[in-house]
Amino acid sequence: MANIVDLHTHSTASDGIYSPTELLRLAAEAGLKVQALTDHDSTDGLDEAAQAAKVHDIDFIPGIEINTDVKGGEVHVLGYFIEYQRAEFQSILQVLRDARVRRGQRMVERLNEQGLHIKWERVREIAHGSVGRPHVAEALMEAGYVKSIEEAFDKYIGAGRPGYVPRYKLAPQDAVRLIASANGLPVMAHPITLPGLEELRKWLPGLRDSGLVGLEVYYGHYTPEQVQELLTIANEYQLIPTGGSDYHGPGIHPTPLGGRYVPYESVERLKAVAAQHHGKTPPTFELPTPVQEK
Ligand code: AMP
Ligand code: ZN
Ligand code: FE
Ligand code: FE
């Protein structure tokens, strides 16, 4: 039987290939009944996605994904059921997206210095919304310097490669608090990244205090053993296990849309917590200053 829940997807509002409308059509074709759109630092695709979801009778969850910096790696924080129309929330997302633009420009400069002649204007055109490295990869591919997005990351724009430039990122607890400031439900995304599960256990109590409610357990390509390990951790810290494909379109991540089983119970549990928050005055959040590139 086809999976019916996917809580982690991307559209052209950030670095996904398909527009929100196309993405929801593909979701319906894949048999999904519940879908969240979780673009990087942007909620600009959510209204369109919600409209398209109505057409296809899909239960749509407004979401976001925010990348954060930790020593030795990156932590991504998903947010669900966010009240994204809130002005303060939007102004902070704008600061994060502006930082992405400056970083993209610097990456193009570095690539130019390496003799790879791509133009910032072209990268900006490829990116319809929030600019990301996949858009730079696309420009490199178009110009014939690489044959795939993967090759662009491997040779030029992956962390530590010659065209890589880091960008301004929040700390994980600030991303959690930012999402909570829009009455959203913060969930730690794909936790099996650097620096490992022991480190994760150290962070979780503090992040829970900041408002973390879930852990992405059923993620993309994770093996049954990894899922089991994460499920144990989620239970231990009383976090809701969530999951999804992290679908971006062909060529970016291996899992197809709806390609990962996520229990419907995850949705029910998220909805129960969301119902407790909505309509309440959320905690306030201010960006740590100064906002600057690392
Ligand atoms: P950025 O947020 O601009 O640093 O770009 C990171 C995004 O690039 C991730 O969210 C993924 O969507 C994508 N990405 C990261 N590594 C790879 C890779 N090796 N191949 C393809 N896409 C990648
Ligand atoms: Zn992405
Ligand atoms: Fe992510
Ligand atoms: Fe993602």
Sequence-ordered list of residues with C-beta below 8 angstroms from that of 157, at least 6 positions apart, any chain: 107, 111, 133, 136, 137, 140, 163, 164
Report whether pLDDT(268) > 80.
Answer: yes
Distance, CA of 134 to CA of 123 (rounded, Å):
10
**Residue 96 above 80 pLDDT?**
yes
Contact criterion met (CB below 8 Å) for 38 and 8: yes
Band (pLDDT 50/70/90 cuts) for residue 283 is: very high
CA angle 52, 175, 196 (to 5 degrees): 105
Q: Where are the beta strands (DSSP E) in the chain?
A: 5-6, 34-37, 59-70, 73-80, 185-188, 214-219, 240-244
* Cβ(152) – ligand 1 distance below 6 Å: no
pLDDT tens sequence across 171-196: 999 999 999 999 999 999 999 876 78
Ligand 1 pocket check for 15: Cβ under 6 Å = yes
pLDDT at 244 over 90: yes
Residue 148 near ligand 1, beta carbon < 6 Å:
no
Please state the pTM of the whole predicted model: 0.96
CA distance 143 to 109: 15
- pLDDT in the model for residue 70: 86
Give the whole-angstrom CA distance, residue 172 versus residue 18. 28
Among protein residues, the one with the nearest Cα to ligand 1's atom 21 is: 252
Hey, what are 133's tokens? Answer: 């490295």
Provide the pLDDT confidence category of residue 282 given band limits of 50, 70 and 90: very high
pLDDT tens column, 42-89: 999 999 999 999 999 999 999 999 999 888 788 999 999 999 999 999
